[in-house]
Amino acid sequence: MIQALRDKLVDLWHARELLRQFVGKELKVRYKNSALGFLWSLLTPAAMTVVFTVVFAFVFRINVDDFAAFFLAGYLAWSFFNNSVTGSIQAVTGNGNLIKKVYFPREVLPLSIVIGQLVHLVLALLVMLPYFVWVRGVGVLTHLPALAVGVIVLFVFTSGVSMLLAGANVSFRDLQELIVVVFLVWFYATPVIYPVALVERQIADGVGIAVLFGHIISLNPMTWFVKMFREALYGEVAPRLAADGNLVDTMQSWPSPELLTVTVTIAFGAFVVGYLAFHRFALTFAKEV
């Protein structure tokens, strides 16, 4: 068992150059032949931020300070997860020729997509950082290490989910269609456009359906990763109202030991399950892709 695991890790270590080349290819495709290059990858979060800010801060009036910053902090985490998983679900099925003809550790395929997205995420964070500092104060800078921890656990979690789905998609091709719907629902079940505090207030007000929704949110692993990003970049929103009717928000903070434990456990749990499942699926890749 230990021997087998060690062999697999040695295998993966030898494939690091291949991983590097695949990631390079991913990034090149994105940035080659376009004048604006990397700026394009910022266009989606920027557009989403504008749209959701208009809709939810002005039309539906979710009364949160700096809604754009509030939204963007969570959305960056979400879009990394979303792009990585939807990108890697076809990482194996789309490389049938390679799988059928040469050997290399198959997990290189989904992992290269996730790592490519990680590069986008880090670049996006760097570009957006001045904005957060401007809106939320220099406290953002002192909490960068907390953000780094958030990025790492989210990366580990996303890798696990990506491997699981990329592997499963080989025998169940319907997954790649299904995932589009799943992610649409999942997005709204994740507190990206609304604060958890809003749900908590509804529960306090005795709205029945909110209790169920509260359970769904807390069982949703992405809730915790979004929370981690948001705490470091924006702060948190408390479930009470200020004098002006707005929800009260706090300054940036370090992840609590509880949050840290939850995210690390989820992340590594997902990684182990995804990795093992992927290797199980990989036994028949060459026959089924």
Partner 1 sequence: MVFESLRDFIKPDQSRPAIEVERVTETFRLYHEKGVGLKERLYRLRRAGYTDFNALEDVTFTIEHGETVGIIGHNGSGKSTLLKTLARILPPDEGRVEINGRVATLLELGAGFHGDLTGRENIYLNGAILGFTRSQIAVRFDEIVEFAGIRPFLDTPVRNYSSGMYVRLGFAIAINVDPDILLVDEVLSVGDAKFQAKSLDAMRRIQEREKTVVLVSHDLGSIQDLCDRVLVMEQGRVVFDGPVREGVQLYQQLMESSGPDLEDPDQHERYGSGDVVIRKVGLLDAAGMGTRKVKPSAGITLRVKVVAQRDVKPFSVGARIQTGDGKPLYEVHTTWQGLGVGPLERGESAIVDIRLRAHVLAGYYAITPMITDSNGKRVYDALPRSVQFEVEPAPGGTGMVDFRAAVSVADGPAVNLDDTGREEDVPADPATPEAAKALHPSHATADPRDDLEGTAATSDIVADADEDWGGAPAPQHEDDTDVFRAIG
* Among residues 1, 35, 103, 244, the one that binds partner 1 under rule CB under 8 A: 103
Q: Which residue spans within 111-207 are E strands per DSSP?
A: none
**Residue 215 burial by Cβ neighbours in a 10 Å radius (0-12, 13-18, 19+):** exposed
Which helix (H) or strand (E) covers residue 131, if one does?
A: helix 108-136
Q: How far is CA 169 from the centre of its chain?
A: 20
Which region among 16-24, 37-45, 203-211, 263-271 touches partner 1 (by CB under 8 A)?
Answer: 16-24
Q: Is 174 in the site for partner 1 (CB under 8 A)?
A: no
The stretch among 13-21, 177-185, 214-222, 259-267 that binds partner 1 (CB under 8 A) is: 13-21
What's the CA gap between 228 and 253, in Å, rounded? 9
Q: Decide: is 34 part of the binding site for partner 1 (CB under 8 A).
A: no
Where residue 62 falls (left for φ over 0; alpha for ψ -120 to 50; beta otherwise) is beta
- 145-156 per-residue burial string, b: 16 or more CB within 10 A, e: under 16: ebbebbbebbbb
Q: Work out whether 276 is an interface residue with partner 1 (CB under 8 A).
A: no
Q: Which two tokens stand for residue 4?
A: 């087998």
CA 221-229-212 angle, to 5 degrees, is 35
Cα separation of 192 and 277, whole Å?
29
State in angstroms the smallest separation of the CB of 275 from partner 1.
16
Q: Does 31 bind partner 1 (CB under 8 A)?
A: no
Q: Indicate whether 205 belongs to the interface with partner 1 (CB under 8 A).
A: no
Residue 173 interacts with partner 1 (CB under 8 A)? no
Which of 1, 4, 59, 102 binds partner 1 (CB under 8 A)? It is 102
Does 21 bind partner 1 (CB under 8 A)? Our answer is: yes
Residue 76 near residue 125 (C-beta atoms within 8 A): yes
- Interface with partner 1, residue 32, by CB under 8 A: no
Residues whose CB falls within 8 Å of the CB of residue 89, separated by 6 or more in sequence, listed in order: 162, 165, 166, 169, 175, 176, 179
Question: Could you tell me how many residues of this chain bind partner 1 (CB under 8 A)?
Answer: 22
Stretch that binds partner 1, among 61-69, 84-92, 94-102, 155-163 (CB under 8 A): 94-102
Q: How far apart are CB 288 and partner 1 at their closest, in Å?
A: 8
Q: Does 287 bind partner 1 (CB under 8 A)?
A: yes
The one among 104, 213, 254, 268 contacting partner 1 by CB under 8 A: 104
The minimum distance between CB 8 and partner 1, in angstroms, equals: 11
- Select the span of 11-19, 57-65, 110-118, 130-138 touching partner 1 (CB under 8 A): 11-19
Pick one of 101, 181, 206, 257: the residue that binds partner 1 (CB under 8 A): 101
282 lies in the site for partner 1, by CB under 8 A: yes
Find all residues with CB under 8 Å of 101, minimum gap 6, and list them.
none
Residues that bind partner 1 (CB under 8 A): 6-7, 10, 13-18, 20-21, 98-104, 282-283, 286-287
